[in-house]
Amino acid sequence: MVNLTFKHGLLFTDLVLFHDGKEVIVNDVIIDTGAAHSIISPIFIKLIIKVYSLNINFSIT
């Protein structure tokens, strides 16, 4: 079950990312109910890789 929080007229949840046995939790992610798809910023992904020393080859194309 996903916990949703309604704040400032927006829906928020926590995002849990798993890779290679490591887990990263990102709190207070806005859920855009009008979006056709979901996206996580490539800049944010690069930061997560660096901060958590993940062994991932990531490039923006």
61 lies in some domain: no
60 lies in some domain: no
* Residue 58 confidence (pLDDT): 66
22 lies in some domain: yes
Question: Smallest Cα–Cα separation from 2: which of 16, 21, 18, 17?
Answer: 16
Q: Whole-angstrom Cα distance, residue 8 to residue 59?
A: 35
How many domains does one find in the chain? Answer: 1
β 10-19/5-7 pair status: antiparallel
Sites in the chain below the pLDDT cut of 70: 58-61
* Residue 60 confidence (pLDDT): 58
44 lies in some domain: yes
Global pTM value? 0.60
Task: State the residue range of the domain holding 10.
Answer: 5-51
